[in-house]
Structure 1
Amino acid sequence: MTARTTRRTTAIKSRTAAVGAIAVAGALLLAGCGDQTGSGKKDGPAKASSAPLADKLPQAIQDKGVIKVGSDIAYPPVEFKDKTGKTVGIDPDIAAALGKQLGVTFQFENGTFDTLLTGLRSKRYDIAMSAMTDSKARQEGIDPETGKKVGEGVDFVDYFTAGVSFYTPKGKTQGIKTWSDLCGKKVVLQRGTVSHDMAKAESKKCEKDKKGKIAIESFDNDQQAQTRLRGGGGDAGSSDFPVAAYAVKTSGGGKDFELVGEQVQAAPYGIAVAKGNKELAEALRLALNAIIKNGEYDKILSKWGVEAGAVKEAKINGGS
Structure 2
Amino acid sequence: MTASTTRRTTAARSRLAAAGAIAVAGALLLTGCGDQTKDKGSGESKSESKAPLADKLPQSIRDKGVVKVGSDIAYAPVEFKDDSGKVVGIDPDLAAAMGKQLGVTFEFENATFDTLIGGLASKRYDMAMSAMTDTKDRQEGVDADTGKKVGAGVDFVDYFTAGVSLYTNKGADQGIKTWDDLCGKTMAVQRNTFSHDLAKDQAKKCTDAGEKTLKIEPFDTNPEAETRMRSKGADVVSADFPIAAYSVKNSGGGKYFQIVGDQVEAGPYGIAVAKDNTELRDALQAAVQAVIDSGEYQKIVDKWGVADGAITEAKINGGS
TM-score normalised by structure 2 residue count: 0.92
Contact 2:32-2:109 at 8 Å conserved across structures: no
Q: Which residue of 2 aligns with 1:87?
A: 87
Question: Identity over the aligned pairs, expressed in percent?
Answer: 63
> In the aligned structure 1, how far is the partner of 2:230 from the partner of 2:120?
34
Q: Which residue of 1 aligns with 2:27?
A: none
Q: Which residue of 1 aligns with 2:199?
A: 199
Give 1:120 shift. 1.0
Q: How many residues align?
A: 305
Q: Does 1:36 align with 2:38?
A: yes
Contact 1:58-1:279 at 8 Å conserved across structures: yes
Contact 2:139-2:154 at 8 Å conserved across structures: yes
Give 1:232 shift. 0.7
Deviations 1:145-197, CA, capped at 9 Å, x for gaps: 11011111000000000000000011111121221111110001100100000
More deviation, 176-185/89-98: 176-185
Q: Which residue of 1 aligns with 2:110?
A: 110
- Secondary structure at the counterpart of residue 251 of structure 1: helix
> In the aligned structure 1, how far is the partner of 2:311 from the partner of 2:241?
16
Q: Which residue of 2 aligns with 1:312?
A: 312
TM-score normalised by structure 1 residue count: 0.92
Contact 1:45-1:96 at 8 Å conserved across structures: no
Matches within 5 A, 1:9-48: 12-13=17-18, 18-20=19-21, 31-40=33-42, 44-45=43-44, 48=48
Contact 1:20-1:243 at 8 Å conserved across structures: no
Contact 1:37-1:86 at 8 Å conserved across structures: yes
Unaligned 5+ segments in structure 2 are: 3-7, 23-29
Q: Does 1:56 align with 2:56?
A: yes
- Secondary structure at the counterpart of residue 252 of structure 2: helix
Matches within 5 A, 1:253-264: 253-264=253-264
Contact 1:182-1:214 at 8 Å conserved across structures: yes
Q: Does 1:274 align with 2:271?
A: no
> In the aligned structure 1, how far is the partner of 2:177 from the partner of 2:194?
17
> In the aligned structure 2, how far is the partner of 1:20 from the partner of 1:243?
12
Give 1:7 shift. 4.0
> Residue 6 of structure 1: which of 2, 13, 18 is its match?
13
> In the aligned structure 1, how far is the partner of 2:61 from the partner of 2:36?
19
> In the aligned structure 1, how far is the partner of 2:212 from the partner of 2:34?
38
Q: Does 1:154 align with 2:158?
A: no
Over aligned residues, Cα RMSD in angstroms?
A: 1.7
Q: Which residue of 2 aligns with 1:303?
A: 303
Give 1:48 shift. 3.7
- Secondary structure at the counterpart of residue 316 of structure 1: coil
Matches within 5 A, 1:283-298: 283-298=283-298
- Secondary structure at the counterpart of residue 202 of structure 1: helix
Unaligned 5+ segments in structure 1 are: 22-27
